[in-house]
Structure 1
């Protein structure tokens, strides 16, 4: 499924958080979004997910303006995993994941054994099946993040948007979640802080002060000059002698 932003702008109290952003995500593509804190990555993801309506421009889902679509139809196609989502409800991990099935339920389409199987598989995929009956408030930050990813998987989206999904995860679960996302037969847009993780994306977009300032393959975008200009760091790009992958080492720019 294709996702397109056309000249999207979004502001709050006169402060531009997105400024004339145009972007096309191809079906099946894994697109990485990078940039400093406050550059607009989260706002762009929320606009692409249909959670915030752009003040200017428009977002299209398979060439259909999202503004004209019912929210249920959007939720049947797009799942969004936020950096951190909290609840004060006394709710269990399995119940959180079951919420991913909400767009597909109605009085004419009640909960079925197939929904149970989808939820079970989602919990299993993120390694949370043994903790499925635990209450939300007893879970660690990393466990909660894996539950949220499972909820998105249970939604069975055609487009998956993730806002720095590995922030609260230990390195083992970071790698397993990124590997799982890469294997999914869906279009993926993922905001990342770890630039070495961004190397595995098909394409990368760079955000600065609400604008998309660079776009291309990891090799085209993640250059020493770009990293110095955008992040203020000096990067040494080396090749792993085992698998020949490019790896970046960083130090503060002088």
Structure 2
């Protein structure tokens, strides 16, 4: 399923958080969003998730504007993992992940053994099965993040949106989550701070002050000049002699 933004604007108190942003993410593509803090990545993800209606422009699933769709129908197609999503409810990890099944439940389609199986698989995918009975408020930041991702997987979406999903994770779980995301047969849009992680995306878009200023394959976009102009850093771009992957080493431009 194709995900599109067409000339999207979003303004809060006279401040433009998104300014004429257009992009199309192809079915099955992993698309990375990068940019400094406050550049508009999270706002764009929320528009693409159907959670914010653009002031101008529109977001579409295939050729259907999300503004014409029921939120339930959007939630059956798109799952969004936000940076910060908390709850004061005393719920367990398993109950939190089970919330991902909500868009599919109704009086005619109550909870079933199939829903149990989907939740169990999601817990396994993020290595949280052993903590299924733990209460939410007892979890570490990394454990909560993995639970959020499991909840999104339990939705069985066709499109997965993730806002800096490796925040709070140790390096082992960062690598395992990114590997899992890459292997999923889904369309993925992922906001990342780690530019070396962004190298594994099919394409990336660079955000600056609410505008999408560059887009393309990582090796074409993440140039020394782009890194200096957007992030204010100098970079040495190296090719790993073993697997030929590209690695960046940074130093301040001032």
TM-score normalised by the chain length of structure 1: 1.00
* Equivalent residues in 2 for 1:42-191, closer than 5 Å: 42-191=42-191
**What is the rounded CA distance, in whole Å, between the counterparts of 2:54 and 2:182 in structure 1?**
29
Query: CA offset at residue 242 of structure 1?
Result: 1.2
Which 5+ residue runs of structure 2 have no aligned equivalent? none
Q: Alpha carbon RMSD of aligned pairs, Å?
A: 0.4
Q: In the alignment, which residue of structure 2 is the partner of 1:244?
A: 244
**What is the rounded CA distance, in whole Å, between the counterparts of 1:235 and 1:102 in structure 2?**
45
Query: CA offset at residue 55 of structure 1?
Result: 0.6
Q: In the alignment, which residue of structure 2 is the partner of 1:12?
A: 12
**What is the rounded CA distance, in whole Å, between the counterparts of 2:22 and 2:93 in structure 1?**
37
**What is the rounded CA distance, in whole Å, between the counterparts of 1:88 and 1:111 in structure 2?**
24
Q: In the alignment, which residue of structure 2 is the partner of 1:235?
A: 235
1:223 aligns with 2:218: no
Question: Any idea what SS the aligned residue of 1:85 has?
Answer: coil
**What is the rounded CA distance, in whole Å, between the counterparts of 1:235 and 1:133 in structure 2?**
45
Deviations 1:51-93 (A, max 9, x none): 1111110001011010000000000000000011111111110
**What is the rounded CA distance, in whole Å, between the counterparts of 2:187 and 2:168 in structure 1?**
23
**What is the rounded CA distance, in whole Å, between the counterparts of 1:226 and 1:177 in structure 2?**
27
**What is the rounded CA distance, in whole Å, between the counterparts of 2:167 and 2:139 in structure 1?**
16
Question: Any idea what SS the aligned residue of 2:178 has?
Answer: helix
**What is the rounded CA distance, in whole Å, between the counterparts of 1:50 and 1:244 in structure 2?**
38
Question: Any idea what SS the aligned residue of 1:145 has?
Answer: helix
**What is the rounded CA distance, in whole Å, between the counterparts of 1:203 and 1:150 in structure 2?**
25
**What is the rounded CA distance, in whole Å, between the counterparts of 1:100 and 1:179 in structure 2?**
21
Count of residue pairs the alignment pairs up: 254
Q: In the alignment, which residue of structure 2 is the partner of 1:214?
A: 214
Question: Any idea what SS the aligned residue of 1:249 has?
Answer: strand
1:25 aligns with 2:21: no
Query: CA offset at residue 130 of structure 1?
Result: 0.1
**What is the rounded CA distance, in whole Å, between the counterparts of 2:208 and 2:180 in structure 1?**
29
Question: Any idea what SS the aligned residue of 2:235 has?
Answer: strand
Deviations 1:124-175 (A, max 9, x none): 0000000010000000000000000000000000000000000110000000
Deviations 1:83-126 (A, max 9, x none): 11111111110000000000000000000000000000000000
Which 5+ residue runs of structure 1 have no aligned equivalent? none
**What is the rounded CA distance, in whole Å, between the counterparts of 2:141 and 2:246 in structure 1?**
31
